[in-house]
Structure 1
């Protein structure tokens, strides 16, 4: 497959800049939960980028400050912890943390495309095992735009490789979220056609990085990487 792989992780960490820490001083524990960041996603991103030739980007601040995987018009771009923040401060947060990250990646992809390359953008995420008290019946989800045949074909080819290496896991397409919901890759699709850009989101159940079985988590990361390489190559 003749495409340049670009790996991103929009929810990689739970840090809060010093000037905004007071917003969380009454509820600092939320930063350690799945709401504060995607647990295990940064480690998985680094494993993939280390073993598959790719450019990798990770945002170091909590999604509760501003969610880089949402458009600014989305009500969930800012969490409830930002409700008391004035418009000028929100604008400063957007200009300092949101726009530079997204624009840097878009500029990099634009440079590649201008040189005649096509892009495979893999956005790495993890999800909480339970939502609203309901167990999620999926271990690994692959998200794509079903109207984009090439994205769909790639994801099904990747799934087959994953199933070959880890037949005991549960796989679902466009789950636990639809691949067309508001997100970073969705916004890029609006600007680029599928000949230049494929946007895929990888979703992995946080029960693996949260487990005491660190060897299984490491094994899972290695197999995700191995399966991805087999499809790309």
Structure 2
């Protein structure tokens, strides 16, 4: 990353008092100028392929309600997907759904290693240091959004609660989901799709309760939708944690 591009990741509300660490790996559609938009067609430049639409806004709203620190990536997942390890082929995708990414098509091993060094490692270190800064072990919650139509197939699910090997928090939140909201466990993805890297890398080894939240992006496309889901998720998370403490 050039100095003018700024850091690869940032912490919002670093002094938040809640014992919760929020994460948004796909918060930004930013592509460094030297990469020439990765050769993307203009109509794809700000599409769901480049970032999780509404994810950053939702994560910030949730951070405010909960008074919790939030670690955000500042670079498009098409440059490097911070929710993938360097060994994953889709960490630097050449294609996302039906969208080609020409700028990633013929990268050398040196180019790939540079992306890891410049983007993934700073993000990973910042998240790890943020988790270390808590006085007691926090809960790790990652915030994502997903497109309503995938390969031409509509998705009915509205809210997904995903887990890796530790399902405690995902199941507890599912039990407190509001009526009328299509909420499902491990949908529209699950751990076999390789989407739980952050949980596996940072929460499981530390024994932290964790959950990956997926909201359909048409439901958080404006301020009203973001506010609605921030309230819903804050309520579900708070209730789930309180009930677990009581048992």
Report the TM-score when normalising by structure 2: 0.79
1:31, 1:62 within 8 Å by CA — same for their partners in 2?
A: no
Q: Distance in 1 between matches of 2:237 and 2:160?
A: 14
Counterpart for residue 51 of structure 1: 65
Q: Which SS does the other structure have where 2:79 is aligned?
A: coil
Q: Distance in 2 between matches of 1:227 and 1:90?
A: 39
Deviation digits for residues 142-188 of structure 1 (CA, Å, limit 9, x no counterpart): 0113x43xxx332232223332xxx1110100111114643211223
Counterpart for residue 204 of structure 1: 215
Counterpart for residue 215 of structure 1: 224
Deviation digits for residues 85-107 of structure 1 (CA, Å, limit 9, x no counterpart): 33223222211111101111112
Counterpart for residue 176 of structure 1: 188
Report deviation, 1:189.
4.6
2:58, 2:220 within 8 Å by CA — same for their partners in 1?
A: no
1:66 aligns with 2:80: yes
Report deviation, 1:190.
5.4
Counterpart for residue 17 of structure 1: 32
1:83 aligns with 2:105: yes
1:128, 1:207 within 8 Å by CA — same for their partners in 2?
A: yes
Q: Which SS does the other structure have where 1:218 is aligned?
A: helix
1:142 aligns with 2:161: yes
Report deviation, 1:217.
4.2
Q: Distance in 1 between matches of 2:131 and 2:37?
A: 36
Q: Provide the aligned length of Structure 1 versus Structure 2.
A: 215
Taking only aligned residues, the RMSD between alpha carbons, in angstroms, comes to: 2.1
User: Which consecutive unaligned segments of at least 5 residues does structure 2 have?
Assistant: 1-17, 95-100, 243-247
Q: Which SS does the other structure have where 1:32 is aligned?
A: coil
Closer, same or farther in 2 for the Cα pair 1:44/1:22, shift >3 Å?
Answer: closer
1:159, 1:171 within 8 Å by CA — same for their partners in 2?
A: yes
1:142, 1:202 within 8 Å by CA — same for their partners in 2?
A: yes
Q: Distance in 1 between matches of 2:213 and 2:204?
A: 20
2:48, 2:146 within 8 Å by CA — same for their partners in 1?
A: yes
Q: Which SS does the other structure have where 2:160 is aligned?
A: strand
Q: Which SS does the other structure have where 2:209 is aligned?
A: strand
1:125, 1:203 within 8 Å by CA — same for their partners in 2?
A: yes
Report deviation, 1:27.
1.7
2:158, 2:216 within 8 Å by CA — same for their partners in 1?
A: yes
1:159 aligns with 2:136: no
